[in-house]
Every structure is written in structure tokens, then in C-alpha cells.
């Protein structure tokens, strides 16, 4: 009846179809397997402080002074950073870059704007 589908929430095999949705009677989770398959292939979307989508190789400008952790250095607001690389940072630092005079570091996208 379920064609080998399992509930993505509780892994129950007792699921049934209702229209375009599949329903799990054990945990009451409803999902559309076609939409879920499309979501799994989405790329990482990173937006700057103004909501512009960033891509690898873009240039950005730092919008405020940022202290470099573990150092007395400061990245000044207005510093232009070229050739960024987007990463999936678990701690929120989703931009990897190299800043002149400071070196390689990671930035949070909320503190930059697209140049």
C-alpha cells in the first residue's frame, strides 16, 4: 500500500496516500514526496545584509567594524573583500575569504553587503 515509503519523521511503514499527500497515522505527519525530493537538491543560498543573493567569486564590503577573535586586529567597516567563497558554516560564518593585511578568515553574511 505504501510502495516502500516510510514516514520521514518517525520512519513508520504504515503510511497512506490522501490525494497528493502521504499521511502517517502514528505521528500525524503529512508530506508530499515529490516536493521533498525537489527540496533535497537545493543549493546553499546566502544573502547579504540587504537581502541580495551572494555567489562564489563575488566581491563584498564589510558594513561595520569587526573584531578578529583571538587577536587585536579589527576589520574596518568599508573594507572590500574580493573573491569570496560560500561555505556551510554551522556557527553562522558562511563566507570564507582572504582579507588583505589580515589573512584567511570566515565572515557572517549579515555583516557584509554585495559590492
State CA 101 to chain mean position distance.
Answer: 28
**pLDDT means per 10 residues in the chain (115 residues)?**
74 88 88 66 78 94 94 95 90 92 93 94
pLDDT at 33 (0 to 100): 76
pLDDT at 61 (0 to 100): 97
CB crowding 25-42: b at 16 or more within 10 Å, else e: eeeeeebeeeeeeeeeee
pLDDT at 36 (0 to 100): 59
Q: Are 30 and 36 in contact (CB under 8 A)?
A: no
Amino acid at each position: 500500500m505504501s510502495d516502500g515509503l516510510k514516514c520521514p519523521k518517525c520512519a513508520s511503514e504504515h503510511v497512506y496516500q490522501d490525494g497528493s499527500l502521504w499521511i502517517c497515522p502514528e505521528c500525524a505527519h503529512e508530506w508530499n514526496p515529490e516536493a521533498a525530493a525537489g527540496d533535497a537538491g537545493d543549493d546553499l543560498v546566502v544573502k547579504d545584509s540587504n537581502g541580495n543573493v551572494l555567489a562564489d567569486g563575488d566581491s563584498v564590503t564589510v558594513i561595520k567594524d569587526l573584531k578578529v577573535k583571538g587577536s587585536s586586529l579589527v576589520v574596518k567597516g568599508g573594507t572590500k573583500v574580493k573573491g569570496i567563497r560560500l561555505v556551510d558554516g554551522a556557527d553562522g560564518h558562511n563566507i570564507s575569504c582572504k582579507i588583505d593585511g589580515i589573512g584567511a578568515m570566515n565572515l557572517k553574511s549579515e555583516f557584509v553587503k554585495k559590492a
